[in-house]
Homo-oligomer: A and B are copies of this chain.
Amino acid sequence: MPDTSSCQFEQRPRRLVMGTAGLQADFCKMCNVRPSSVCSAIENEDIGRLAEAAVETIVTPGRCFIEEGEPATDFFNVTSGTVKLFKALPDGRRQITGFAGPGHFLGLAVSDRYAFGAEAVDTVRLCRFSRERMRVLLDDFPRMERRLLEEASNELVAAQNQMLLLGRKTARERVASFLLDQANHGELNSEGQLHLPMTRGDIADYLGLTIETVSRTLSWMRAQGMIDVGKGYAITILAQERLESLAEGED
């Protein structure tokens, strides 16, 4: 059977060397994503337990750190940067199933193998937990399990929205939905600009389109005065309401 990993695709090393030392309690206590992550399920008094199970890991852009089909040895919590999650077909076609930003938990797979791959979009900082230590934490802190269920439920809702997008929306509706999602998930800079960390290729693989169609659609939106496409990956939303009705197919 040929190796079909998308990581190879990127022509990067397959395995990632990561540190093994646990963290100090203060590291978690100070963590700026804890409030919005599963880690919030553990109180300050017990935070040492969490910290000693975690290993901080930095992943450089383009590096693949979860490979579809490999044994699911670790769970991850994103503390900064953006991760793309994807599935691929043997011939290389690829679907990005989601982008995970700070606070997102990765590795929710029942089976003992990852059902998807994960790759750093920009520089990504992660807290890594081994399967065994995670299991112990969940046994000792049931609140964490509840928090994880919330996280999973949120992801399911997002997945259902994405299925509607992929199955039934036009290219324009897809791009409009994407821009609004990105704008809602927060990262607007000083002057209303949305900084997209991912390439056109990533956007295309996320929306089930080709690079060319994404590019053409953004150009069309610019021509319509809905957005302004700046240098690099900066986009300004000029007509949010028009984009919103477009995203819901009301045009």
Which chain A residues have a beta carbon within 8 Å of chain B's beta carbons? Answer: 85, 87-91, 93-95, 97, 108-111, 115-116, 138, 142, 145-146, 148-150, 152-157, 159-164, 166-169, 205, 207-208, 248-250
- Determine the chain B residues whose CB is within 8 A of the CB of A169 once the complex forms: 89, 93
In contact, A248 and B90 (Cβ under 8 angstroms) = yes
In contact, A145 and B155 (Cβ under 8 angstroms) = no
Given A142-B142, A145-B145, A164-B95, decide whether A156 and B108 contact each other with a Cβ distance below 8 A. yes
Min distance, Cβ A198 to any Cβ of chain B, angstroms: 15
In contact, A115 and B160 (Cβ under 8 angstroms) = yes
Min distance, Cβ A1 to any Cβ of chain B, angstroms: 11
Closest residue of B by beta carbon distance from A251: B91
In contact, B149 and A145 (Cβ under 8 angstroms) = yes
- Determine the chain B residues whose CB is within 8 A of the CB of A95 once the complex forms: 163-164, 167-168
The 9 lowest CB-CB distance pairs between A and B, nearest first, are: A167-B208, A166-B166, A159-B159, A152-B152, A95-B164, A95-B167, A87-B164, A93-B168, A110-B153
- Determine the chain B residues whose CB is within 8 A of the CB of A145 once the complex forms: 142, 145-146, 149
In contact, A168 and B208 (Cβ under 8 angstroms) = yes
8 contacts between A and B (CB under 8 A): A87-B161, A89-B249, A90-B248, A108-B152, A110-B153, A115-B160, A148-B149, A166-B167
- Of A163, A169, A208, A250, which is in contact with the most chain B CB atoms at under 10 Å from its CB? A163
- Determine the chain B residues whose CB is within 8 A of the CB of A148 once the complex forms: 149
4 A-B pairs besides A89-B164, A109-B153 with CB distance below 8 A are A97-B164, A110-B153, A115-B161, A148-B149
Bound state CA distance, A173 and B225, in angstroms? 39
- Determine the chain B residues whose CB is within 8 A of the CB of A149 once the complex forms: 145, 148-149, 152
In contact, B110 and A154 (Cβ under 8 angstroms) = yes
Bound state CA distance, A167 and B88, in angstroms? 11
Closest residue of B by beta carbon distance from A249: B89
Closest residue of B by beta carbon distance from A148: B149
